[in-house]
Structure 1
């Protein structure tokens, strides 16, 4: 393609565009951090094939821009808030809402309560899709809203199937603010709650974030079986008494399974 054609704005093929080496190396380092968990500089250098000195400079640049962060005690690196925010923005633009919408509409028709879809963003859950009920009094969560994981059903589900060590690191500096008398007070209690969630396959927010509101949540899994989102229904306790928890949990889990199937997950359980 001629320079004149390029200047007129025509799309060039990817193979005709030379890679920017510095950017390519930076992205390799970022991808190494995206594998999950905290890693040493030497681990990143080994996985990328870069020298330790080059890896160090790239990591320092990523830290300065918020795409990576270093633990002051261990020296290990992990993804930073900027990278997580981009990941959350990507999730909002991926087929997740589209894949979930049909099952969420059916769930709302079945329960006559609002359904929400959320993804993980550091120690927060971010709501990326919602199907509202037709009730005049209904629960509403603003899309893009971030809520603490420890006091929400979606937060519990998004963390329940992750390693305990990862959850502990993620919440190490989190202050467990007491929103209601029912809010989980500390990390030890939260880890015990996550164990219960794994055992029963769903989570409940029993007035832990807001008095008078109860919520049932189930995990959405991708092709590999990893939990990539959480689907929930919320309602005032007057419409969602404790005797309905098991039923609502089954309904939400059924919707979550339908979404997971659309994402390519085939459960081996019966």
Structure 2
């Protein structure tokens, strides 16, 4: 299927130049195909709207048919389900129980969990569990990026009470904590729900500084404190990849998060 290989190579090259497009000479050089072959292929591809040509620069770029196919494929995907792979990745990197949480309505819920097979301790974070805004890292990582009126409304609806001696219950202190999360891009639950257990969360963005998802790890507080810097590095690295994935889906589809 030599023609298919050539077609794929040409489309790959064109897709890498989405703004300015790419000319025949550059396409020939990058694909090792002759200019005459490239020209014949492009003429047919233009007719089928797979590519378009800029009238002024003569460069070629992706056409509406190609974008329609890509958009249709992405619409068929479950964005939340696809995010689950990043839970597995962060668990492999940290050895910790990981979970995804989602802001929906005026609450945050756990929507996916992953427990490493060799993890001895089991932590009681389960799908469908509500994450209180004032004492969970998962909710803080999302709420910090919301508008102030949403922050005020969400905190006002909470029945704030001390669950452990470490639970923040002062509204002023909570808002200060959210400001720190916004500045540093990472949220903590340091024994606020259970003594001896802590969690770290970071947001996953669907647009620049807009989020409805967070990815978290939970474990023994002693281990979390000892490995805090390394855990944060891994979480942020995975979050960046997940955010890029989600942004591309959000850009090409009507998915609303």
| TM-score > 0.5, shorter chain as reference | yes
Shift of 1:162: 1.2
Q: What residue is the counterpart of 1:163 in the other structure?
A: 147
Structure 2 unmatched runs, 5+: 1-76, 250-257
Normalising by structure 2, we get a TM-score of 0.62
CA distance in 1 between counterparts of 2:91 and 2:126 reads 17
Q: In structure 2, do the counterparts of structure 1 residues 173 and 138 end up closer, same or farther at CA, with 3 Å as the change threshold?
A: closer
Map 1:108-127; keep pairs closer than 5 Å: 108-122=91-105, 124-127=107-110
Show the 5 A alignment for 1:143-154: 143-154=127-138
| Alignment match, 1:79 | none
Q: Residue 228 of structure 2 aligns to a residue in which SS? A: helix
Tell me if the contact between 1:127 and 1:143 (Cα under 8 Å) persists in the aligned partners.
yes
Distance (whole Å) between structure 2 residues aligned to residue 262 and residue 247 of structure 1: 23
| TM-aligned CA deviation for residue 202 of structure 1 | 0.6
Q: 1:181-200 maps to which residues of 2 (within 5 A)?
A: 181-200=165-184
Larger radius of gyration: 2
- Contact 1:217-1:232 at 8 Å conserved across structures: yes
Separation (CA, whole Å) in 2 of partners of 1:218 and 1:108: 14
In 2, the alpha carbon distance for the partners of 1:181 and 1:102 equals 35
Q: Aligned equivalents of 2:171 and 2:79: distance in 1?
A: 30
Contact 2:133 2:155 in 1 (8 A): no
Q: Deviations over 1:201-235 (max 9, x none)?
A: 11111011111111110001114541120000000
Corresponding residue for residue 83 of structure 2: 100
Q: Secondary structure at the match of 2:247?
A: coil
Distance of 1:129 and 1:182 partners within structure 2: 26
> 1:221, 1:260 within 8 Å by CA — same for their partners in 2?
yes
Contact 2:100 2:112 in 1 (8 A): yes
- Which residue pairs with 1:262 in the alignment? 245
Contact 1:123 1:171 in 2 (8 A): no
Q: Over aligned residues, Cα RMSD in angstroms?
A: 2.1
* TM-aligned CA deviation for residue 189 of structure 1: 1.1
Please give the alpha-carbon distance, in whole angstroms, between the structure 2 residues aligned to 1:142 and 1:215. Answer: 14
- For residues 1-270 of structure 1, the aligned pairs below 5 Å read 95-122=78-105, 124-134=107-117, 135-223=119-207, 225-240=209-224, 242-264=225-247
TM-score w.r.t. length of structure 1: 0.59
More contact order relative to length (CA 8 Å, sep ≥ 6): 2
Structure-2 change in CA distance of 1:234 and 1:202 (3 Å): same
Contact 1:99 1:259 in 2 (8 A): no
Secondary structure, aligned partner of 2:89 = helix
- Partners of 2:140 and 2:221 in 1: how far apart? 20
In the other structure, the counterpart of 1:50 is: none
Q: Aligned pair in 2 of structure 1 residues 265, 248: CA closer, same or farther (>3 Å)? A: farther
Could you give the per-residue CA deviations for residues 48-89 of structure 1, whole angstroms, max 9, x where no partner exists? Answer: xxxxxxxxxxxxxxxxxxxxxxxxxxxxxxxxxxxxxxxxxx
In structure 1, stretches of 5+ residues that fail to align are 1-93
